[in-house]
């Protein structure tokens, strides 16, 4: 278990027990892809894979952190640091910068971190790390913990410091997830609604083991295309445009831009419909929407790839599978499937086998359930 691992590593490195543990989960997005930066709706859940930090406060302004799995260290002076430390270190300096930029006075700490959110798989390992780090800074510096404000700070760190143009979904679900529930997030108001997950089913995450490659530029390009359509309609974002309005301009708008907008606007509606399906306890309706969402990402938004389409098709054709789709930013990573609980074992076996036969790659299946968002523990001196 990662928790025990970071505690033990802390003891080995610092010769005493840590005072605090912080943790924050990754996420799987059930439906609502590339809608967050269009002020739209998303329906993710926080998953049982997290980033963990074991730490204790320091009396000075230094932050000394060991990345356990990489066996690398960072020694940061909170009064004097710059961009460009590279890799995971950029998240620590980035979060420190965004907190200080928001007017928070930070204190130093030392600790170790690790995690079991698969990296680069579209399950938000970076948001998990950002929130666990922010929780650590908040604890040692005595900052008030407001999950929404802290999510915005982490997003700012990621956008303006690390240089990745993500929306707000990943940070919001990592900070605010609820055990047993999916969370519908209105990415304009940042209001959230807990939505019950269907009984007798499980969400399985299917890792194609393909990774994103040059996805960052494609992500930015999709954002720019969405903005161009909003601009064409003289609106703030695609959230403010209906499918009928889009249809009226079908002949005038560039066809590619039309299809991009078609995905986002219809995906927003699918999220609202998915919430209704969940409230009605109707896994079949949810599964159907997931299938439609995948087709829309594949054909209109064009963020899938051959291996992913194959994985989704294999999953969709299994007995007991209500629906499946790619999840996350796109161009690789994971799919998510809604599967009847009594079919899970045969489903897993069959999917791995078929994917191996058709694609020649070993996939991984992560059974997932919904957990709470960012948290911490105060450890007694004896462990
Ligand atoms: C990435 C981003 C999110 C969101 C998804 C696509 O995960 O970090 O903000 O845009 O892609 O839904």
In whole angstroms, give the CA distance from residue 320 to residue 333.
23
What does the DSSP assignment read for 90-113? Answer: HHHHHHHHHHHHTTPPP--EEEEE
Query: CB–CB of 18/120 below 8 Å?
Result: no
In whole angstroms, give the CA distance from residue 129 to residue 154.
10
Please identify which of the residues 39, 170, 207, 354 carries the catalytic annotation: 170
Upper half-sphere CA count for residue 353 (Cβ side, 13 Å): 7
Q: Which residue has the tokens 């789709």?
A: 325
| Partner residues linked to 22 by β-bridges | 53, 376
Copy the structure tokens of residue 88.
């995971």
In whole angstroms, give the CA distance from residue 35 to residue 15.
47
27, 126, 329: residue to mutate for ligand 1 pocket, most atoms within 8 A of CB: 329
Copy the structure tokens of residue 358.
């058709």
Please tell me if the CB atom of residue 267 comes closer than 6 angstroms to any atom of ligand 1.
Answer: no
26, 27, 36, 159: residue to mutate for ligand 1 pocket, most atoms within 8 A of CB: 36
Closest CA to 315 of 382, 365, 264: 365
Copy the structure tokens of residue 147.
């999950």
pTM exceeding 0.95:
yes
Query: CB–CB of 41/63 below 8 Å?
Result: no
Q: How far is the CA of 89 from the centre of ligand 1 (A)?
A: 21
Q: List helix spans (H) across 52-211.
A: 89-101, 125-141, 147-156, 169-176
Closest CA to 320 of 358, 284, 274, 352: 284
Q: Is 80 a catalytic residue?
A: no
Please tell me if the CB atom of residue 169 comes closer than 6 angstroms to any atom of ligand 1.
Answer: yes
Copy the structure tokens of residue 204.
């399985």
Q: Kindly report the protein residue whose alpha carbon is nearest to atom 2 of ligand 1.
A: 166
| Partner residues linked to 367 by β-bridges | 204
Copy the structure tokens of residue 301.
């938004």
Query: CB–CB of 354/364 below 8 Å?
Result: no
Collapsing DSSP to helix, strand or coil, 1 comes out as coil
Q: List helix spans (H) across 297-363.
A: 306-316, 344-359
Please tell me if the CB atom of residue 147 comes closer than 6 angstroms to any atom of ligand 1.
Answer: no
Residue-by-residue pLDDT tens, the chain, 383 positions: 999 999 999 999 999 999 999 999 999 999 999 999 999 999 999 999 999 999 999 999 999 999 999 999 999 999 999 998 888 999 999 999 999 999 999 999 999 999 999 998 999 999 999 999 999 999 999 999 999 999 999 999 999 999 889 999 999 999 999 999 999 999 999 999 999 999 999 999 999 999 986 567 899 999 999 999 999 999 999 999 999 999 999 999 999 999 999 999 999 999 999 999 999 999 999 999 999 999 999 999 999 999 999 999 999 999 999 999 999 999 999 999 999 999 999 999 999 999 999 999 999 999 999 999 999 999 976 54
The total number of residues shown for the chain amounts to 383
**191-196 and 321-326 strand pairing:** unpaired
Backbone angles phi, psi at 86, to 5 degrees: 85, 150
Collapsing DSSP to helix, strand or coil, 190 comes out as coil
In whole angstroms, give the CA distance from residue 325 to residue 30.
8
Please tell me if the CB atom of residue 329 comes closer than 6 angstroms to any atom of ligand 1.
Answer: yes
In whole angstroms, give the CA distance from residue 366 to residue 225.
33
Please tell me if the CB atom of residue 170 comes closer than 6 angstroms to any atom of ligand 1.
Answer: yes
Position 214 scores a pLDDT of 55
Query: CB–CB of 88/129 below 8 Å?
Result: yes
Copy the structure tokens of residue 288.
């159907």
Please tell me if the CB atom of residue 40 comes closer than 6 angstroms to any atom of ligand 1.
Answer: no
Ligand 1 atom showing the smallest separation from residue 36 Cα: 10
């Amino acid at each position: 278990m990662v928790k025990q691992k970071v505690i033990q590593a802390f003891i080995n490195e610092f010769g005493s027990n840590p005072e605090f543990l912080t943790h924050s989960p990754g996420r799987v997005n059930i439906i609502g892809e590339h809608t967050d930066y269009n002020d739209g709706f998303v329906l993710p859940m926080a998953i049982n894979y997290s980033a963990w930090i074991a730490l204790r406060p320091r009396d000075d302004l230094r932050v000394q952190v060991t990345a356990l799995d990489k066996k690398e260290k960072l020694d940061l002076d909170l009064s004097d640091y710059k961009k460009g430390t590279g890799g995971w270190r950029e998240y620590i300096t980035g979060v420190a910068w965004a907190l200080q930029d928001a007017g928070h006075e930070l204190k130093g700490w030392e600790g170790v971190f690790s995690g079991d959110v698969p990296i680069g798989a579209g399950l938000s390992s970076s948001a998990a790390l950002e929130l666990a780090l922010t929780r650590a800074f908040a604890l040692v510096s005595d900052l008030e913990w407001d999950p929404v404000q802290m999510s915005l700070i982490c997003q700012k760190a990621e956008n303006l410091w690390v240089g990745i143009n993500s929306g707000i979904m990943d940070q919001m679900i990592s900070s605010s997830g609820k055990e047993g529930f999916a969370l519908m997030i209105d990415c304009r108001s940042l209001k959230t609604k807990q939505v019950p997950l269907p009984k007798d089913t499980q969400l399985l995450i299917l890792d194609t083991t393909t990774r994103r490659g040059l996805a960052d530029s494609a992500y930015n390009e999709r954002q720019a295309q969405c903005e161009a359509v909003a601009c064409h309609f003289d609106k703030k974002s695609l959230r403010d445009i209906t499918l009928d309005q889009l249809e009226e301009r079908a002949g005038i708008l560039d066809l590619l831009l039309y299809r991009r907008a078609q995905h986002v606007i219809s995906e927003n509606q699918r999220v609202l419909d998915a919430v209704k399906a969940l409230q009605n306890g109707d896994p079949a309706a949810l599964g159907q929407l997931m299938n439609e969402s995948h087709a829309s990402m594949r054909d209109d938004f064009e963020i899938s790839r051959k291996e992913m389409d194959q994985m989704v098709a294999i999953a969709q054709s299994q007995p007991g599978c209500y629906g499946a789709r790619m999840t996350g930013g796109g161009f690789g990573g994971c799919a998510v499937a809604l599967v009847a609980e009594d079919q899970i074992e045969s489903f897993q076996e069959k999917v791995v086998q078929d994917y191996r036969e058709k694609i020649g790659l070993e996939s991984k299946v992560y059974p997932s359930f919904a957990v709470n968002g960012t948290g911490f523990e105060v450890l007694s001196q004896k462990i």
